[in-house]
Amino acid sequence: MATPTLLDYLHQLRKQGVSHVPIDDPARKVLRELYTRGSARSPASRPPKSQSSPTPPPPTSITATGSTPAEKIASLASLADTWAPLKNLRSLRETMVFSVGKPDADLMIIGEAPGFHDEQQKEPFVGPAGEKLDQILKAMGLSREQVYISNICKFRPATKNQTTNNRPPSPEEMATSLPFLKAEIDVVKPRVIIALGASTAHGLLNSDKKITELRDSWHQFQGIPLRVSYHPSYLLRPDDGLGEKRKVWEDMLAGMEKLGLPISEKQRGYFK
Ligand code: URA
């Protein structure tokens, strides 16, 4: 692999939204030399580590570019794909899985991170958990196209000798990815957010409470009502009785009520 040059580094910073890089006198001297020699692209002419400027901390907020919500989401996805703070963790895989659905939806569903199937298809929630989510949406009278579906973490968390196995994202992986999700929320402006699973709830609400304590009430995230529910993969367990399905359904009914969606008597009684 080619050694990254100073220009590569500066391009990467610009992609991260950094518009100014502080330079001290030794770095200025090195840059002047590079300029007079016209060799800024040569790896050999990179300033020695001790003289280079310190890497600025990753930005905590990211702003989308573009005029329509779809363009803005696309701009965020393109930025996330090469986002150095995430790459630098070295604990996530290479393929980015950003989001799917309506970029100005009233309902935003947030999961934890892509898994094996999602990574293959570069789309969140397409594996068995995704099929379960589709069924839940259908029961609500909605489809994937009518809601916005995303994950806190945009890359599948890596494991040793990984095949089809997945792991939840770590607190650090979620915290480093969170600026993207916040920027997505600023674009989509959903009226209701549903967070699926304990990791997602912990990453968003900065809480370590059990999911049993977090669900059943409304929270706020960026000023938007947020409901926590069990992850759909939880409902895939063979021994799952109706009890857990009903709990998830009650969370969805709460979301539907908040959105003012019509709810039939039949829908109210599902999984009882
Ligand atoms: N697939 C996703 O996209 N997110 C999850 O949380 C689980 C599976």
Q: Count the domains in the chain.
A: 1
Whether ligand 1 lies within 6 angstroms of the CB of 106 is answered as: no
Residue 123: inside a domain: yes
Whether ligand 1 lies within 6 angstroms of the CB of 176 is answered as: no
DSSP 16: T
Supply the range of the domain harboring residue 154.
Answer: 69-268
Give tens-digit pLDDT for 59-72. Answer: 789 999 999 999 99
Residues 75 and 66: their CA atoms lie apart, in Å, by 7
**CB-neighbour burial class of residue 71 (10 A; exposed 0-12, middle 13-18, buried 19+):** middle
Output the CA torsion sign for 139, 144, 148, 150: positive
* ∠ CA 155-252-61, rounded to 5°: 40
Q: What is the pLDDT of residue 2?
A: 45
Residue 41: inside a domain: no
Residue 16: inside a domain: no
Residue 19: inside a domain: no
The b/e string for 165-182 (b: 16+ C-beta within 10 A; e otherwise) is: ebbbbbeebbbbbbbbbe
Whether ligand 1 lies within 6 angstroms of the CB of 118 is answered as: yes
From ligand 1's centre to the CA of 169, what distance in Å?
11
Residues 64 and 66: their CA atoms lie apart, in Å, by 7
Q: Where residue 93 sits, what CATH number does that domain have? A: 3.40.470.10
Q: Which of 103, 146, 153 is nearest to 124 (CA)?
A: 153
pLDDT averaged over 10-residue windows placed end to end, the chain, 272 residues? 53 59 57 48 49 72 96 98 97 98 98 98 97 98 98 98 97 97 98 98 96 96 98 86 89 98 97 89
Whether ligand 1 lies within 6 angstroms of the CB of 111 is answered as: yes
Residue 40: inside a domain: no
Residue 83: inside a domain: yes
Q: Which of 100, 108, 109, 118 to mutate to test the pocket of ligand 1 (most atoms within 8 A of CB)?
A: 118
Residue 5: inside a domain: no
Residue 100: inside a domain: yes
**CB-neighbour burial class of residue 213 (10 A; exposed 0-12, middle 13-18, buried 19+):** exposed
The reported pTM is 0.81
From ligand 1's centre to the CA of 99, what distance in Å?
10
Q: Which helix (H) or strand (E) holds 195?
A: strand 192-196
